Amino acid sequence: MPQALLHPGVYIEEVPSGVRTITGVGTSTALFIGWAPKGPVDRALRMTSYADYERAYGGLHADSYLSFAVRQFYDNGGSDAYVVRITGVGGGAAVAASRTINNLVVVANSPGLWGNRLKIVPAGTAASFRIDVVDVGPSGTDNILLETFVNLSMTATDLRYAPAIINDNSTQIRVSTTAGGVVPGSTQMLTGGADGTVLKPGLATFNSAVLALFGMGAIADRIDLFNIICVPGLTDVTTIGTLQGHAKSKRAFLIVDCAENATIATTGAGVGATANLPTSNSARANSALYFPWVIAPDPLQSGALRPFPPSGFIAGIFARTDGDRGVWKAPAGTEANLNGVLGPKTNMSDAENGLLNPLGINCLRSLPVYSNVVWGARTLDGDNNRGSEWKYIPVRRMALFLEESLYRGTQWVVFEPNDEPLWAQIRLNIGAFMQSLFRQGAFQGKTPKEAYFVKCDRETTTQDDINKGIVNILVGFAPLKPAEFVVIKLQQIAGDLPV
């Protein structure tokens, strides 16, 4: 009601329209997991370029599939990713380099051998001093100035108290003080840093470290939104099966690498590869397998060719396709070319491709004119014998996109009066969102009625549901399915035959 009506005149009241715009969530934010020599181990970092990765995790490393996969992701069209670093535990844990300089304890901001390259250069007086952080590089003589902090103090009550200033601003070190307030002395190198066990796919410790990132309160669970999961080089069947379940719970999609030495025969049989995942796993549809590995130049070996797991490339193609065409377009075909690749490790014929495709295995092919492309768009539930409704990657990812978007876009409904006015608002807002997707060509059908429906009324929400505090919303859509097989029929015309 407006203000009290006390005098004759015109009163203006704003009436809510009931329109609450639902915005579609992003579809191509990737989560990369793997071993790296540098970077935080207690949280995920979000990055928008490979330069961000280099600064935080140290760039390319010969023992890190992760470092190459992130680069390949950005080279192939990726733009948004989270990275989680895993390291050894117990006796194999990584150790942070450190040094006590008079009363100032300096520690590298993340564990690893990299910290032993940091040189701390103090200068100044008791009233005011500075600290330079220098990277001496692998040779020990590069002396690259990374950070400088000036006008520092060792007095805890001073606004320029060294630990407060450095810990709030440094990307390289953390400091604390021991008893007293002595000004730091001479130049010192940090020491004692160690990488610990270098975790590689194939190690049991690698698998357990990956799985420890998921679950209640774990690092991955604290990330607000990611859509694609990549663990480059991971081929352990049990670990992949568990990750499929985590992907399903997070409404994400897992990209699975085949084994490095997998062949057409072993991949088809599931021997030495990951094609034969547990048949009882109901989350298979939230993942896709790609075969084979790819051959690409290694910048660390002067461009020498070596095999790489395909997941980083594929994640980039997912992102590129989503941006150019939409999540409803299959990330495969002549437009899904692999950038930075000489070719697949195994070249196959159409007939050989035909052995794997019906099993739900997506092949990477080198085709004339089109070069190296992704030539498959099936989930790991896409085996012909399964008859799954989630046979195709774009259909499954489109459903995940709708689920996450509607989940976030209907939070306002909670605790609203559960009756027809609320149901009408729900139909209005979800209907507007689905209509916008229909206009973009996301569904089958010539009319909205053929493409989707939104139902929320007395039929979906009974009085018993209302008594229990439940409102049921039914949303249906007609997905676009990829034209996997194109059949062209030719017929000769007989010409001018006599009648």
Distance of alpha carbon 316 from alpha carbon 295, whole angstroms: 17
Taking phi over 0 as left and psi of -120 to 50 as alpha, with beta for the rest, 270 belongs to left
> Taking residues 272-293, what's their average pLDDT?
73
- Which pLDDT score is estimated for 132? 95
Contact (CB, 8 A) for 364 and 373: yes
Query: Are 422 and 387 part of one and the same domain?
Result: no
Distance of alpha carbon 463 from alpha carbon 453, whole angstroms: 23
Question: Tens digits of per-residue pLDDT, 388-433?
Answer: 899 999 999 999 999 999 999 999 999 999 999 999 999 999 999 9
Give the pairing of strands 294-298 and 304-308: antiparallel
Query: Are 115 and 50 part of one and the same domain?
Result: no
Query: Are 357 and 263 part of one and the same domain?
Result: yes
Among residues 63, 59, 69, the alpha carbon closest in space to that of 340 is found at: 69
- Which pLDDT score is estimated for 264? 86
Contact (CB, 8 A) for 15 and 65: no
**How confident is the prediction for the chain on average, in pLDDT?**
91
pLDDT above 70 for 70: yes
Could you tell me the CA-to-CA distances from 181 to 102, 164, 313, 326 in Å, in that order?
9, 14, 53, 60
Query: Are 380 and 485 part of one and the same domain?
Result: no
- Which pLDDT score is estimated for 186? 85
Query: Are 103 and 236 part of one and the same domain?
Result: no
Is 431 inside a domain boundary? Answer: yes
- Which pLDDT score is estimated for 181? 64
Among residues 287, 215, 298, the alpha carbon closest in space to that of 258 is found at: 287
> Taking residues 35-41, what's their average pLDDT?
95
Query: Are 263 and 384 part of one and the same domain?
Result: yes
Where a domain ends, among 360, 395, 430?
395
For 493, the domain range is: 417-499
How big is the CA angle at 284 (ends 204 and 43), to the nearest 5 degrees? 50
Q: Which residues contact 401 (CB under 8 A, 6 or more apart)?
A: 24, 25, 27, 227, 327
Is 7 inside a domain boundary? Answer: no
- Which pLDDT score is estimated for 283? 87
When comparing pLDDT for 486 and 31, which is higher?
Answer: 31
Question: Tens digits of per-residue pLDDT, 426-475?
Answer: 999 999 999 999 999 999 999 999 999 999 999 999 999 999 999 999 99
- Which pLDDT score is estimated for 185? 79
- Which pLDDT score is estimated for 111? 96
User: Comparing 4-8, 320-324, 413-417, which segment has the lowest mean pLDDT?
Assistant: 4-8
Is 22 inside a domain boundary? Answer: no
Query: Are 107 and 61 part of one and the same domain?
Result: no
478 — pLDDT class (breaks 50, 70, 90):
very high
Could you tell me the CA-to-CA distances from 442 to 394, 395, 397, 408, 428 in Å, in that order?
10, 10, 12, 20, 19
Burial label, 300 (beta-carbon count in 10 A; 0-12, 13-18, 19+): middle
Query: Are 390 and 476 part of one and the same domain?
Result: no
Is 9 inside a domain boundary? Answer: no
Where a domain ends, among 363, 395, 427?
395
> Taking residues 3-22, what's their average pLDDT?
85
- Which pLDDT score is estimated for 1? 56
Where a domain ends, among 395, 427, 455?
395
Question: Tens digits of per-residue pLDDT, 242-282?
Answer: 999 999 999 999 999 999 998 888 777 653 344 455 545 77
The number of domains in the chain is: 3
Helix pair angle (65-75, 311-324), 10° resolution: 20
Is 17 inside a domain boundary? Answer: no
240 — pLDDT class (breaks 50, 70, 90):
very high
State the number of CA atoms in the 13 A half-sphere of 397 facing the CB.
33
Q: What is the DSSP letter of 91?
A: G
Distance of alpha carbon 258 from alpha carbon 267, whole angstroms: 8
Residues listed for the chain = 499
Is 68 inside a domain boundary? Answer: yes
- Which pLDDT score is estimated for 272? 39
Prior bond of 292 cis (ω within 30°): yes
> Taking residues 47-65, what's their average pLDDT?
95
Could you tell me the CA-to-CA distances from 123 to 62, 131, 141, 183, 474 in Å, in that order?
37, 7, 20, 9, 69
Question: Tens digits of per-residue pLDDT, 432-445?
Answer: 999 999 999 999 99
- Which pLDDT score is estimated for 282? 78
Among residues 94, 149, 147, 161, the alpha carbon closest in space to that of 119 is found at: 147
Query: Are 66 and 169 part of one and the same domain?
Result: no
Distance of alpha carbon 154 from alpha carbon 176, whole angstroms: 10
90 — pLDDT class (breaks 50, 70, 90):
confident
CA 126 to mean position of chain CA atoms = 48
Query: Are 208 and 357 part of one and the same domain?
Result: yes
13 — pLDDT class (breaks 50, 70, 90):
confident
The number of beta carbons lying within 10 Å of the beta carbon of residue 144 is: 11
pLDDT above 70 for 36: yes
Give the global pTM: 0.93
Distance of alpha carbon 484 from alpha carbon 436, whole angstroms: 27
Q: What percent of the chain has pLDDT over 70?
A: 95
Query: Are 326 and 242 part of one and the same domain?
Result: yes
Domain with 260 in it: what CATH number?
A: 3.40.50.11780
Question: Tens digits of per-residue pLDDT, 138-183?
Answer: 888 889 999 999 999 888 888 999 999 999 999 999 999 876 666 7
Is 25 inside a domain boundary? Answer: no
Query: Are 166 and 213 part of one and the same domain?
Result: no
